Amino acid sequence: MLQDQLVSIASNVSRQLNQGKGKEVKTEPDRIEVGGGWCLLPQQSFTTPRGKFDVEFLPNGNSIVLHNKSISYRCTLSGAICLPSLVLNATKPKVLLLLETPLSIGKQTTKCLLFTPTPSDSKLNSLQVTTTKISPNARIPMGSTLEDTPLELFEAALIASTSFSMEHPSAFKSSEGKSGIKCYDGVNDGVLYPLANGVAFIQKPLKFLHKTEIENIEMDRSCSSGTRNFDLNINMKDGVCHQMRMIEQAELDFISAFVESSKINETNDAIVLEEQSSDEDSSFISSSEEEGSSDEGSSVKYVTRRTRGNEKLETLSDVEDAEGLEAEIEKVETEEEDLSDNASDDESHSSKRAKHSI
């Protein structure tokens, strides 16, 4: 009897295995063991990845785990940046988390995360947590109760857990004294933040372009409608160009000052392109000099090139380039004088022929 039961069980197992052949095995998203961290910030509002996640700081330093009921993500951080809102007196800044290695979220891969530090008590704008272990740098003992604003508490946990502190933007100020400017990435509107170690675009798609990956930055006024806006072309070393569109004209000098101070274009002069309508077919080159906006008060030379109505305004920081272009300008001006003299001679000959025929 026992032998017959064993044979029946073996037969059922074999039949189930054969039925499962060739079928895709569905599994839940990769889950990561949670609960091993020293500090947990509950229900933080994330834009990337979208949703509310508990943020758990792990004992091994720069790693955190995001988790909710559906999925968990483990990330190794390389930096964190506080991004103030452009809205006056706003109390909810966002935090950009830079990742050491890209993270797969669904079908997309990202090199950064974005969230808004969220209070547990919205009326008091406060967040309270209790540590379950000693912090990695031993500054905060186990069993400590921490309470502060969500941003301050996150920053304190970051300092106690990682090898870096949170960056507060200071490399750029707009015409209104803010850390970012409004623009479009394609058809998506958002905010561009020029930073000490790169450029960030906040909203969709979330982007952080590290300074070391940028080849040069161009300010382009030939693509925006009218003259009240300009575009910012961020050319990457891998050949990709990120175009930030429809930036207010008032920000041009401030962006130029940022590019100069960041030395992103130290081997490639920044170029400002401007399109003007012109009925002239002739090509000419002219030059002008005006004071720049740098602290040293150094003069910035602009060389205007126009060919059949298309004008390019180039900023020259290199003396040799300036001298070379001045020589080119002088050469073209000489050629124009020769053309003018020839035109005068032609008019004189035509006048004489006309008198002769009379």
Residue 205 pLDDT? 87
Q: Which domains does the chain have, with CATH numbers?
A: 39-161 (2.30.29.150), 182-282+289-329 (2.30.29.30)
pLDDT of 56-84, one tens digit each?
999 988 999 999 999 999 999 999 999 98
Question: Cα(111)–Cα(99) distance, rounded to whole angstroms?
Answer: 5
- What DSSP assignment string belongs to 152-203? HHHHHHHHHHSSS--B---S---TTS-S-EEEEETTEEEEEEEETTEEEEES
Residue 13 pLDDT? 47
Say if CB 116 and CB 127 are below 8 A apart. no
Residue 33 pLDDT? 59
Assign residue 309 a region: left if phi > 0, alpha if psi is -120 to 50, beta otherwise?
left
Place of tokens 């070393």: 237
Torsion of CA 77, 79, 80, 81, to 10 degrees: -150
Mean pLDDT of the chain: 75
Question: Cα(302)–Cα(307) distance, rounded to whole angstroms?
Answer: 16
pLDDT of 82-101, one tens digit each?
998 886 556 689 999 999 99
Higher confidence at residue 107 or residue 21?
107
Strand partners, 247: 230
pTM metric for this prediction: 0.66
Model confidence at 297: pLDDT above 80? no
Instruction: Indicate the pLDDT class of residue 8, thresholds 50, 70 and 90.
Output: low
